[in-house]
Amino acid sequence: MLLSRVAERVYWQARYLERAENTARILSVFSALLMDLPRGTKVGWDTLIQITGNEKDFAQRFKQAQERNVMRYLLSDRSGVSVVDMLAQTRENARTTREIMPTEAFELINELYFMAKDRAVQGVDRGERHELLEGIVADCQQIWGLLAGTMSRDDAYSFIRLGRSIERADMTTRIVDVGSSNLLPDIDDKGTISDTREPYENVLWMNVLRSQSAFQMYRQHVRQRIKAHEVVKFLLQDEQFPRATAHNLTTMTKVLSKLPNHSKVTWQVGKVRKMVREADVDRLLRRGLLRHLDAVQLEIAQVHVKIADTWFLPNK
């Protein structure tokens, strides 16, 4: 039976790896978005800081939330939230659970960390950025593939899936945040978008989908041109797409059923799942989406609390 301490570490290893990948994806989509917008358009780089919830800390380190500072903060600096930091955390958790993970997994994580650490500073510049971020995402995918292809479906693997799913469920809500925030200038106070802005809104949502490798799947399954409410529904409520929030919550329910003493956690996941699946996206897009996403994020945080209470700190 899996040790509680080890369960906690593999769970965090998966969360950090997923977070590193998602942060890289967000930086990548944001950078791509810039190129599709008319020259001179000012984009709210500070939105990225808000999404990751680090406004205060960022303000202490930098005066302005412009491209270079935000890239440094989220990519290369030892800020505690950068891609390099996430990979360092992944590596540390992997280093301390090597006895139960496939050897090759640690070696890949180790290599990825060194690669990212060595190249992150260059990645702050646009010239090198795309290749670096794509490389990080691809390496993360390789690690997930290796784990899926070589680990027995035992308790350790269950905690890896739990960690990855909870992180994805949460991150996808944050990525929807990116799309629905006041990214673009000239949005009027009611949040409605004037006709002249619509093409750019579509560009934005297309890039949001791309950041989640969701563009093709959206095309095949939604069969609608890119529209905000369809994209939001897809990313939050789709049961088939592996990065959609609902899909990940469902996955968690399935994984949980295999673990001992799972009832409290399962109940909490069910609560979030209901919130996500039953949300009226059309209405929320007109008003209240951000608040709803915040509430979902808080409930997901409670899922983590229940996981920790149930398995990580028993008898203490």
Partner 1 sequence: MRVNWKSYNPGKFYDELISSPGYARKPARRLASYLRSLNHEDLLRKKTAAELAIKTMGISFTVYSDAGNIDREWPMDIIPRLITASEWDQTSKGLEQRLRALNCFIHDIYNDQKVLKDKLLPADLIFDSGNFRKQCVGIKPRYNVWAHICGTDLIKDEKGQFHVLEDNLRVPSGVSYMLENRRVTKRVFPELFDSNYNIRQVTDYPAELLDMLSSLSPRQVKYPSIVVLTPGIYNSAYFEHSFLAQRMGAELVEGGDLVVENEKVYMRTIGGLEQVDVIYRRIDDLFLDPEVFNKDSVLGVRGLFNAWQKGNVALANAPGAGVADDKIIYTYVPKIIKYYLDEDPILPNVPSYMCVEKAQRDHVLKNLDKLVVKPANESGGYGMLIGPQASKAELEEFARRIKANPRNYMAQPLISLSTVPILGERSVEPRHVDLRPFILQGAKSYVTPGGLTRVAMVKGSYVVNSSQGGGSKDTWIVEDF
**Choice between 136 and 178, CB closer to partner 1:** 136
**Choice between 25 and 91, CB closer to partner 1:** 91
The first and second tokens of residue 177, run together, are 């945040």
Question: Closest approach of Cβ 154 to partner 1, in Å?
Answer: 11
Question: Closest approach of Cβ 253 to partner 1, in Å?
Answer: 17
Question: Closest approach of Cβ 54 to partner 1, in Å?
Answer: 26
Query: Could you say which DSSP state residue 38 is in?
Result: P
Specify whether the backbone of 38 is left (phi greater than 0), alpha (psi in -120 to 50) or beta.
Answer: beta
The CA–CA distances, whole Å, from 123 to 12, 87, 195 equal 26, 15, 36
- Note the residues at the interface with partner 1 (CB under 8 A): 1-7, 95-96, 98-100, 103, 106-107, 110-111, 114, 155, 259-261, 311, 314-315
Contact 70, 49 (CB under 8 A): yes
The tokens 């800020």 sit on which residue? Answer: 79
**Choice between 38 and 314, CB closer to partner 1:** 314
The first and second tokens of residue 17, run together, are 């790896």
**Choice between 1 and 189, CB closer to partner 1:** 1
Question: Closest approach of Cβ 7 to partner 1, in Å?
Answer: 5
**Choice between 214 and 259, CB closer to partner 1:** 259
**If DSSP codes are grouped into helix, strand and coil, which group holds residue 68?**
helix
**Choice between 154 and 294, CB closer to partner 1:** 154
Taking the CB of residue 292, how many other CB atoms lie within 10 A of it?
A: 20
Question: Closest approach of Cβ 114 to partner 1, in Å?
Answer: 7
The first and second tokens of residue 114, run together, are 């060194």
The first and second tokens of residue 213, run together, are 């490798």
Query: Could you say which DSSP state residue 196 is in?
Result: G
Question: Closest approach of Cβ 85 to partner 1, in Å?
Answer: 17
